Amino acid sequence: MSVLLEIDNLHARVDNKEILKGFSLTINEGETHAIMGPNGAGKSTLSYVLAGREGYEITSGTVKFKGKNLLSMSIEERAREGVFLAMQYPVEIPGVATSTFLKHSLNSIRKHQGLEELDTMNFIKVLKQKASELGINQDMIKRPINVGFSGGEKKRVETLQMSILEPSFAILDEADSGLDIDALKVVAGGVNKLRNDKRSMLVITHYQRLLNYIVPDFVHVFADGKIVKSGNKDLALELEEKGYGEFIGNKY
């Protein structure tokens, strides 16, 4: 099994405040890791730093993705290399149809991979099929992306994007927030379908609930900018039972 992502002693700050304080994590191909932690621990910072969002200053540490230096890549280069961030709050872009958005996205990535760009006809065919698998109706893909979507619809569309873009590494940032149990099952089902022995995932969540549906290979407790404990899926249950305080002292 080869290493996909290797984060080593990562330090990062926002507005001069250190958020990541020596974060290390190695993810092999095909593995699903869960990161759990209290609010404010820096979970979202981690996902933004990996995706390359501006405004985060990396003060030390390295991140290797498929053996390459991830931190030196632009946002879109990372995406094209296979990093996908399913966002906690997907962004609304008025006037840009979901299908148009995804077509631009897919073709950008295909071009980078040396594949032929899909024409509209073929793209729509793929899109429709994947959408129906996720129970997303045809009207929705014509609507401007995320504009006026419910919480559940937004998360479904994020999952749809993942299934179309087929990333090698997906970060799911609070994938269950704002979802009722039925919507959660649909999203988790979609995610699980995408799991295979090549694709890795990093599931970031505050609650254990999601991990009943997306069962991780490893669970890490994240607090004060780094991983304080790692284990298998049982660790999540233990966390649920005892709360974060047990693991990270009474600070939280």
Partner 1 sequence: MAATSQTKKTVEDLGDKYKYGFTTDIESETAPKGLNEDIIRFISKKKEEPEWLLDFRLKAYQFWLGLKEPSWAKIDYPKIDYQDLYYYAAPKTKEGPKSLDEVDPELLDTYNKLGIPLKEQEALAGVVAVDAVFDSVSVKTTYQKQLEEKGIIFCSFSEAVHKCPELVKKYMGSVVPYTDNYFASLNSAVFSDGSFVYIPKGIKCPMELSTYFRINARNTGQFERTLIIAEEGASVSYLEGCTAPQRDENQLHAAIVEIIALDDAYVKYSTVQNWYPGDKDGKGGIYNFVTKRGACRGKNSKISWTQVETGSAVTWKYPSCILQGDNSVGEFYSVAITNNKQQADTGTKMIHIGKNTSSTIISKGISAGYADQTYRGLVKVSPKAKGARNYSQCDSLLIGDKCGAHTVPYIENRNPSAQIEHEATTSKISDEQLFYCQQRGIEEEEAVSLIVNGFCKEVMKHLPMEFAIEASKLISISLEGSIG
Binding site for partner 1 (CB under 8 A): 51-54, 74-76, 78-80, 84-85, 87, 90-96, 100-102, 104-106, 108-109, 112, 144, 161, 165
CB of 106 to partner 1, least distance (A): 8
In terms of CB distance, is 78 or 199 closer to partner 1? 78
Neighbours of 107 (CB within 10 A): 16
Identify whether the C-beta of residue 232 lies closer than 8 Å to the C-beta of residue 238.
no
CB of 153 to partner 1, least distance (A): 16
Q: 112: which DSSP letter?
A: H
In terms of CB distance, is 22 or 178 closer to partner 1? 178
CB of 76 to partner 1, least distance (A): 5
CA gap 32, 93 in Å, rounded:
30
CB of 47 to partner 1, least distance (A): 10
In terms of CB distance, is 5 or 79 closer to partner 1? 79
Identify whether the C-beta of residue 169 lies closer than 8 Å to the C-beta of residue 84.
yes
CB of 212 to partner 1, least distance (A): 28
What DSSP line would sit under 83-103, residue for residue? EEEE-SSPPP-TT-BHHHHHH
CA 54 to each of CA 11, 58, 71, 109: distance values in angstroms, whole numbers, following the listed order: 15, 11, 11, 21
CB of 23 to partner 1, least distance (A): 20
Identify whether the C-beta of residue 156 lies closer than 8 Å to the C-beta of residue 136.
yes
In terms of CB distance, is 8 or 77 closer to partner 1? 77
User: What are the start-end ranges of the E strands in 66-191?
Assistant: 68-69, 83-86, 169-173
Torsion, Cα of 231, 22, 225, 62 (10° steps): -90
CB of 96 to partner 1, least distance (A): 4
In terms of CB distance, is 45 or 161 closer to partner 1? 161
- By three-state DSSP, how is residue 203 classified? strand
Q: What is the distance of C-alpha 194 from the center of its chain?
A: 13
Please enumerate in sequence order all residues whose Cβ is within 8 A of that of 182, keeping only pairs 6 or more positions apart, or say none: none
In terms of CB distance, is 86 or 235 closer to partner 1? 86
In terms of CB distance, is 110 or 233 closer to partner 1? 110
Tell me what percent of the chain is helix, strand and coil, each rounded to the nearest 5: 40, 25, 30
